[in-house]
Amino acid sequence: MSPNFLPCERDQQLLMPTDLREWLPADHLAWFVLDTVAELDLEPFFRAYRADGWGRAAHDPEMMVALSLYAYATGERSARRIERRCQEDVAYRVITANRVPDHSTIARFRSRHAELLAELFGQILGLCARAGLVSVGTIALDGTRILANAADSANRSYRQLATEILEEAARVDAEEDERFGDRRGDELPAELADPTTRRQRLREAKRQLDEEHAAKQAEMAAWERAKAEYTARTGLKQKGAPTKPRPIQPKERQRINLTDPDSRPVKTRRGFIQGYTAQAVTTEEQVIVAAEVITGGNERGRLRPMAEAAERELENAGVEERPGVALADAGYWNGAQIAELERTGTTVLVPPDADTRRAPSKIRRGGGYQRMRERLARPEAAALYRRRQQMIEPVFAQIKNNLRAGRFSRRGLASCRAEWRLTAATHNLLKLYRSGLAAAGA
């Protein structure tokens, strides 16, 4: 008597069900993404296409939006891998209705509609609010370092840029002499006619360094004027004077990345990486209510802008409640911005000292510092501040590890900001999906 096995006949016709609704269980994430996208306002996507029917047929924007969201939710960012998934993965085939957009189409759609995809963050936040997932009595602010799509070996100093520009010019001159001799060519060489040549990138990077140096000089001059005005008005030199900006480095020591000029070396616990600082504001339910990206790692001036961004996003999402308490780590300490936020009725808890092991002589003194230390020493405030870590740190861990978003795939501050907001929207979408599963299980 032979063993009893289920048949496995791959040459049998109609082995799979013909109805796509039978391919996945009803509670699968793919169906939830499709239902969610059907609730979103996608009119701006459709306006980007011709309405007269002329031209080659394009993939349905609603399907492409659903594909982008589902791919981000499952940790896929490579257009080529997404194309392969559309061929091999049943859930992706349900999303695309058995269409297989090629990787170039996927990449072009995400690039063409980057800002519109980023704006889905607000709509999905509104869905979370209507589902009761957004309570903003307490919010937490923090930032995390995200790798740029650039290598730190592509960094160049101002002096190196100037040297490479001269070397590039000498090389071009030598090639022209070899090609034309004493004659004059009728046309420009291809490397000079092409606007994307290395030579022009070098000149553009040098121009950006010049602009940054001039901006820092203007900032320092403004601080000197403000300090002089304060001393003339009050007779005091230090206490209450405006915060001094960071010292200006000599122009020759400034560095810029040729691959992604907006990225910077930023410090992490494991050393420096070439990247950006992605910032978020979250609620106690770990829902992201604001998402931004900054160049560099200095967050000292970002407390008020991030709190105001959270208020705008919540207002656009239909949430009338204003944050009552804002929690942030010591990197956000800014006395002036804390005072401004508290005048609007928001209680701010930010440790004034990043390193509590400092010697007493190294601890910053003054009215604002001391008042914050006294506030955080109260048991109720200390217990409230301890919630900050569980409100926002798991969000970054989930995004980097589960969604595999530890590196930006695009270049430039604007593109990375759009990518981060789409990632934050995907995170909120998953929170909404899992809350529904929890409710169904209850």
- Kindly state whether residue 434 falls inside one of the protein's structural domains: no
Domain C-terminal end among 226, 257, 288: 257
- The answer on 170 and 136 residing in a single domain is no
d(CA 88, CA 151): 33
- Kindly state whether residue 319 falls inside one of the protein's structural domains: yes
Which three-class secondary structure state does DSSP give residue 434? helix
DSSP H or E run through 141: strand 138-147
Q: Looking at the predicted structure, is the pLDDT value of residue 442 above 70?
A: no
d(CA 224, CA 247): 12
Q: Looking at the predicted structure, is the pLDDT value of residue 34 above 90?
A: yes
Looking at residue 165, its pLDDT comes to 59
| Cβ pair 432, 131 in contact under 8 A | yes
Which three-class secondary structure state does DSSP give residue 32? helix
d(CA 53, CA 139): 48
- Kindly state whether residue 439 falls inside one of the protein's structural domains: no
d(CA 364, CA 115): 42
- Could you tell me how far CA 333 lies from the centroid of its own chain? 22
- Kindly state whether residue 13 falls inside one of the protein's structural domains: no
d(CA 82, CA 106): 8
- The DSSP bridge partners found for residue 139 are 326
Determine how many CB atoms are found less than 10 A away from the CB of residue 47.
10
Region 128-141 average pLDDT: 91
| Cβ pair 254, 213 in contact under 8 A | yes
Looking at residue 58, its pLDDT comes to 85
Looking at residue 152, its pLDDT comes to 77
d(CA 121, CA 11): 45
> How would DSSP label each residue in 384-407?
HHHHHHHHHHHHHHIIIIIS--SB
Looking at residue 406, its pLDDT comes to 92
Range with the largest mean pLDDT of 3-12, 158-167, 207-216, 389-398: 389-398
How many separate domains does the chain show?
3
- The answer on 403 and 352 residing in a single domain is yes
d(CA 385, CA 350): 8
Q: Determine the structural domain holding residue 46 and report its residue range.
A: 20-112
d(CA 9, CA 30): 28
Strand 138-147 versus strand 271-282 pairing type: antiparallel
CA triple 34-35-37, angle to 5 deg: 65
CA distances from 83 to 16, 79, 98, 115, 116 (A): 21, 6, 12, 22, 22
Residue 155's pLDDT band, with cuts at 50, 70 and 90, is: confident
- The answer on 352 and 290 residing in a single domain is yes
User: What is the per-residue pLDDT across 284-343, written as a single tens digit (0 to 9) for each?
Assistant: 999 999 999 998 888 888 999 999 999 999 999 888 888 899 999 988 988 889 989 999
- The answer on 26 and 75 residing in a single domain is yes
Predicted TM-score (pTM) of the model is: 0.79
- The answer on 103 and 129 residing in a single domain is no
Residue 143's pLDDT band, with cuts at 50, 70 and 90, is: very high
Q: Looking at the predicted structure, is the pLDDT value of residue 78 above 80?
A: yes
Q: Looking at the predicted structure, is the pLDDT value of residue 192 above 50?
A: no
Q: Looking at per-residue confidence, does 212 or 22 come out higher?
A: 22
Q: How does the average pLDDT of the chain come out, rounded?
A: 81
Could you give the dihedral angle defined by the CA atoms of residues 393, 297, 118 and 305, in that order, rounded to the nearest 10 degrees? 90
- The answer on 410 and 291 residing in a single domain is yes
Q: Looking at the predicted structure, is the pLDDT value of residue 362 above 60?
A: no
| Cβ pair 366, 343 in contact under 8 A | no
- The answer on 368 and 384 residing in a single domain is yes
Which three-class secondary structure state does DSSP give residue 14? coil
251 CB contacts (<8 Å, ≥6 apart)? 158, 209, 210, 213
Least confident span in 23-32, 161-170, 221-230: 161-170
CA triple 399-282-333, angle to 5 deg: 105
- The answer on 274 and 202 residing in a single domain is no
Q: Looking at the predicted structure, is the pLDDT value of residue 128 above 60?
A: yes
- Kindly state whether residue 2 falls inside one of the protein's structural domains: no
Least confident span in 19-23, 187-191, 307-311: 187-191
Domain C-terminal end among 241, 257, 273: 257
**206, two tokens:** 């040098």
CA distances from 138 to 283, 387, 427 (A): 6, 9, 19
State what percent of residues in the chain have pLDDT above 70: 71
- The answer on 251 and 276 residing in a single domain is no
Look at phi and psi of residue 47 and say left if phi exceeds 0, alpha if psi is from -120 to 50, else beta: alpha
Domain C-terminal end among 239, 257, 275: 257
Looking at residue 195, its pLDDT comes to 47
What letter represents residue 137's amino acid? Answer: G
- The answer on 81 and 129 residing in a single domain is no
CA distances from 224 to 233, 240, 335, 366 (A): 14, 14, 19, 21
**Angle of helix 61-73 versus helix 103-112 axis, rounded to 10:** 100
Strands (E), 216-353: 255-257, 264-268, 271-282, 288-294, 325-328, 347-349
State the alpha helices, DSSP H only, in 1-54.
29-39, 43-47
- The answer on 410 and 293 residing in a single domain is yes
- Kindly state whether residue 249 falls inside one of the protein's structural domains: yes
- The answer on 416 and 276 residing in a single domain is yes
Q: Looking at the predicted structure, is the pLDDT value of residue 409 above 70?
A: yes
